[in-house]
A and B are shown apart, each in its own frame.
Chain A
Amino acid sequence: MRMFLQFQKAQSVRHLGLLDLQRTMQRALRRSGLPIAYSKGFSPHVVMSFASALSVGISGDHEILDVLLTRDVPADECLERMNRVLPPALRASRVVPADDRHPALMGMLKQASYDIRLEGGGAQRIADSLEAFLQQTSVMAIRRTKSGEKLVDIRPMIHELRVAQRTQNEALLKARVSFEEAATLKPDVLIGALERFAGAQADAVRVHRTGLYGVRDGQAVPLIDL
């Protein structure tokens, strides 16, 4: 079977890169006693993949690890065994069993949602101009890809963007944006566009990914439930 493990990457470990996270998860799986499958070859490794790699500096609470097991294990046992071996900062919240032939989650991923916390004087200006920003029919921004820089219209990639909370020195934005191979809007690109539009900069930015989604009947559905 395949085990979809939903876990958090807490604030305190937001700096971990993909390789660090991979190593840590692999070691946790090896300790868990679950019947994990290994790749063949000279240096066998655990067969697993992340639905989406979370960038360095970003935390998240509904991240998904996809692990191949050699036999069926009840979901609640998987969850319990994993939480016994994971550090608190990477606690798992849910396990969904899936068929071995289930398509790769990465391919089904369409959208991601974020909490973006802006701090400092610029935060207010950005929050104030949010509505006007969304009135635009197109927002051109530079998207960096492996092949180089590309000017793209990011407006169609913004599905939801609102101010959720404001204090004197802070603004919390909630965003849901496109996240698929052809069109991905990274939070830093969105923040850059917002800052340019508002003509103001935040002193500090914290990004937290709140969810990963696929799309069914035109509706965003959490990837793990798809």
Chain B
Amino acid sequence: MVREKIDALLDRVQKPARYTGGEMNCIVKPWESVDIHYLFAFPDVYEVGMSHLGSKILYDVINRRQDALCERVYSPWVDMADLMRQTGVPLFSLETRTPARRFDMLGVTLQYEMSYTNILELLDLAGIPLRSAGRTWEDPIVLAGGPCAFNPEPLHAFIDAFVIGDGEESTGQTIDVVRECKRSGVSRQECLRRLAAIPGVYVPSLYEASYHADGTLASFAPIDAAAPAVVRKCLVQNLDAAAYPEDVIVPYTEIVHDRIMLEVLRGCTRGCRFCQAGMLYRPVRERSVETLLRLAQRQFEATGYENISLSSLSTGDYSCLPRLAHELMQRFEERRVSISLPSLRLDSEVKETLKETQRVKKTSLTFAPEAGTQRLRDVINKGITEEDLISSVHDAFEGGWSSVKLYFMMGLPTETEDDLSGIADLAQKVVQQYFQIPRGVRARGLRVTCSAACFVPKAFTPFQWDAQDTLERLEEKQRFLREKMRIKGVEFNWHEPHVSFMEACFARGDRRLADVLEAAWRRGCRFDGWSDQFKYDEWIAAFGDCGLDPHFYACRERSRDELLPWAFIDAGVTQRYLWRERERALQGVTTPDCRQGCQGCGMQRMAESCKKHMGEAGAR
């Protein structure tokens, strides 16, 4: 009955292929053949969610198990969600159209704070009680992971258990526990307690928070013996040996990243002070060239994809990049597979090979100086100099590119008018580089695209104590910059500061924001990351409903001794290190890449690669 109803809806919505499943390599196991039914939920539309590498990894990890199956669900777009409500169709999985509530576990990935309302929407469409406290064994265990799980508190009321850090190993451990609990018939509460005993798992209902009169956190502690006081992130020590999908799903319809993604390394050692991912995914762990070539071969055979991209936070830092690039190009040229390589830090030999064999479409090159002056780049520890940028751009223009993208942030700590003007100056210099190349040599149609995002301070970064610029200030800066950016050949894009303001609240929010989130969702907020759906006024009203001030979360500087809502999580980098980095930032002192010597970030406590490295350094 539900199946036919779903089928009828498909004729009435935009992009029905979002909901049909049945793609090449999707896995359909007989329902009765396994003990644990896991539904993996991505709280955004199919085209976005299907592009996410982490989801592909976990789908594969779970489906490799004999005792479990994993199916997928993505946020139905607003048209579909409304029709589902009207016609009484519950949230269903793509693989078998099974109602979400029938699954044993529901895992949500948290990639972006502004997708949180979509999680409530998913739960509601599924008929699962929004709040963890209202659920029974009739409902799945609701889990969440991903980068935003490092400050889980705004979601504490809705998620049964968070899995913090790398999910390859911990996901399986949660399945083992739930399977055992269901088999032995223990209570749901007992199951949550057992989950809390898994390293890296945080069960928020087993903790209690209290607040000072000024709204800051007074105390945070477990109220159950099963819950650890400190939750330490999960870490895959040996990435080369870690599971990686081979038979990845090939969607029928175009998605954002529609290609083979090879994760060459995880983590980043550059230490950019604004970058949360760079801090959370430490240490750097690489896959070997042999492993990557084997994976590339297998994925090509399984998908027929036309392009391979090397994926990581900083692929240019992959130690064997030239060899990998050569090998990939040689092996796949005949199969007409192109390789996307990072533009920076390629040796000239590879560049030559690129020119000859790849005949790459000269689309556009991307650089991220992030800030307009060397002073501010030193503050944020972005180790890119103007000379680096200009010479790279020069090479690119000489090599026949004519389109360059530059990414900046505004509202960074200590930013002045000079720094903003510096963005325009840099854009101007890029344009000049183009015109210095003789007319016959340079490609026609110069296009310099400058984007300026609003800086959002994030947990576990040296700027986690800093205030975000107020909306008024950000808008003022945007006006100033727009004037300056009236440069021929330059297109300037800026981001909606209202969204960044809300993002900043949730990035460093506490437990009380759960009520705000629910209030906003009840007021109709969903797909907040989509500018045509974002309803700022409703968000402000939701804060009002709960008697909370968004500026308290976004625009307030914290002191060193304030208890931060995420302080109970051990992300590897220590609070001491982060504070030291913040002080250096304010002095404009840079910190070198830790490959050039350990900076004592704290990872050596848990990462074998760091211990080894430290040992070597000690021996020397």
Which residue numbers of A lie inside 8 Å of B, CB to CB? Answer: 12-13, 15-16, 19-21, 23-24, 26-31, 38, 42-44, 57, 85-89, 204
Q: Is the CB of A44 within 8 A of B336?
A: yes
Considering the complex, give the chain B residue whose CB is closest to the CB of A206: B11
Q: Is the CB of B8 within 8 A of A204?
A: yes
Considering the complex, give the chain A residue whose CB is closest to the CB of B301: A31
Chain B positions 305 through 326: 1 when the CB is less than 8 Å from some CB of chain A, otherwise 0:
1100000000000000000000
CA gap between A13 and B17 in the complex, in Å: 8
CA gap between A27 and B288 in the complex, in Å: 27
CA gap between A57 and B17 in the complex, in Å: 11
Q: Is the CB of A20 within 8 A of B22?
A: no
Determine which of A20, A57, A85 lies in contact with B304 in the assembled complex, contact meaning CB atoms within 8 Å: A85
Determine which of B22, B302, B303, B336 lies in contact with A13 in the assembled complex, contact meaning CB atoms within 8 Å: B22
| Residue B24 is within 8 A (CB to CB) of chain A in the complex | yes
Q: Is the CB of B17 within 8 A of A20?
A: yes
| Residue B67 is within 8 A (CB to CB) of chain A in the complex | no
| Residue B359 is within 8 A (CB to CB) of chain A in the complex | yes
Instruction: List 18 interface pairs A-B (beta carbons < 8 Å), by A numbering.
Output: A13-B17, A13-B20, A15-B20, A20-B253, A24-B24, A24-B250, A24-B252, A26-B304, A26-B306, A27-B250, A27-B306, A28-B304, A30-B335, A38-B336, A44-B336, A86-B24, A87-B23, A89-B22
Note all chain B residues with C-beta closer than 8 A to A24.
24, 250, 252
CA gap between A16 and B301 in the complex, in Å: 24
Within 1-52 of B, Cβ neighbours of A (below 8 Å) are at 8, 10-11, 16-17, 20, 22-24
CA gap between A81 and B304 in the complex, in Å: 14
Apart from A12-B20, A28-B24: 17 A-B pairs, beta carbons within 8 A = A13-B22, A16-B17, A16-B252, A20-B253, A20-B254, A23-B252, A24-B24, A27-B304, A27-B305, A30-B304, A30-B336, A31-B301, A31-B302, A31-B304, A43-B361, A86-B24, A88-B22
Determine how close the nearest CB of chain A comes to the CB of B25; give it in whole angstroms. Answer: 8
Chain B positions 250 through 264: 1 when the CB is less than 8 Å from some CB of chain A, otherwise 0:
101110000000000
Note all chain B residues with C-beta closer than 8 A to A12.
20, 22
Give the total number of A-B pairs whose CB atoms are below 8 A apart.
60
Determine how close the nearest CB of chain B comes to the CB of A116; give it in whole angstroms. Answer: 15
CA gap between A24 and B253 in the complex, in Å: 9
Note all chain B residues with C-beta closer than 8 A to A13.
17, 20, 22, 252
Determine how close the nearest CB of chain A comes to the CB of B338; give it in whole angstroms. Answer: 8
Note all chain B residues with C-beta closer than 8 A to A21.
252
Listed residue (B8, B253, B335) with the most chain A CB atoms within 10 angstroms of its CB: B253
CA gap between A19 and B254 in the complex, in Å: 9
> Which secondary structure characterizes the binding site on chain A?
helix
Determine how close the nearest CB of chain A comes to the CB of B96; give it in whole angstroms. Answer: 12
Determine how close the nearest CB of chain B comes to the CB of A13; give it in whole angstroms. Answer: 7
CA gap between A13 and B24 in the complex, in Å: 12
Determine which of B11, B22, B24, B253 lies in contact with A27 in the assembled complex, contact meaning CB atoms within 8 Å: B24
Note all chain B residues with C-beta closer than 8 A to A31.
301-304
Note all chain A residues with C-beta closer than 8 A to B304.
26-31, 85
CA gap between A15 and B19 in the complex, in Å: 11
CA gap between A38 and B338 in the complex, in Å: 14
Within 379-413 of B, Cβ neighbours of A (below 8 Å) are at none
CA gap between A12 and B95 in the complex, in Å: 12
Note all chain B residues with C-beta closer than 8 A to A89.
22
Q: Is the CB of B305 within 8 A of A87?
A: no
Considering the complex, give the chain A residue whose CB is closest to the CB of B11: A57
Q: Is the CB of B16 within 8 A of A15?
A: yes
Note all chain A residues with C-beta closer than 8 A to B250.
24, 27
Considering the complex, give the chain A residue whose CB is closest to the CB of B359: A42
Q: Is the CB of B16 within 8 A of A42?
A: no
Considering the complex, give the chain A residue whose CB is closest to the CB of B10: A15
The 9 closest A-B pairs by CB, nearest first: A27-B304, A30-B304, A31-B304, A15-B16, A44-B336, A87-B24, A20-B252, A20-B253, A89-B22
Q: Is the CB of A15 within 8 A of B17?
A: yes
Determine how close the nearest CB of chain A comes to the CB of B263; give it in whole angstroms. Answer: 21
CA gap between A213 and B335 in the complex, in Å: 35
Note all chain B residues with C-beta closer than 8 A to A42.
359, 361
Considering the complex, give the chain A residue whose CB is closest to the CB of B307: A43
CA gap between A217 and B495 in the complex, in Å: 66
Determine how close the nearest CB of chain B comes to the CB of A91; give it in whole angstroms. Answer: 12
CA gap between A188 and B616 in the complex, in Å: 75
Note all chain A residues with C-beta closer than 8 A to B254.
19-20, 23
CA gap between A35 and B254 in the complex, in Å: 26
Note all chain B residues with C-beta closer than 8 A to A26.
304, 306
Note all chain A residues with C-beta closer than 8 A to B361.
42-43
Note all chain A residues with C-beta closer than 8 A to B305.
27, 30
Determine how close the nearest CB of chain B comes to the CB of A99; give it in whole angstroms. Answer: 25
Determine how close the nearest CB of chain B comes to the CB of A68; give it in whole angstroms. Answer: 14
Determine how close the nearest CB of chain B comes to the CB of A145; give it in whole angstroms. Answer: 25
Note all chain A residues with C-beta closer than 8 A to B8.
204
Considering the complex, give the chain B residue whose CB is closest to the CB of A57: B11
Note all chain A residues with C-beta closer than 8 A to B359.
42
Q: Is the CB of A16 within 8 A of B22?
A: no
Determine how close the nearest CB of chain A comes to the CB of B45; give it in whole angstroms. Answer: 15
CA gap between A125 and B301 in the complex, in Å: 53
CA gap between A179 and B396 in the complex, in Å: 51
Note all chain B residues with C-beta closer than 8 A to A86.
24
Note all chain A residues with C-beta closer than 8 A to B335.
30
Note all chain A residues with C-beta closer than 8 A to B301.
31
CA gap between A97 and B8 in the complex, in Å: 39
Note all chain B residues with C-beta closer than 8 A to A85.
24, 304
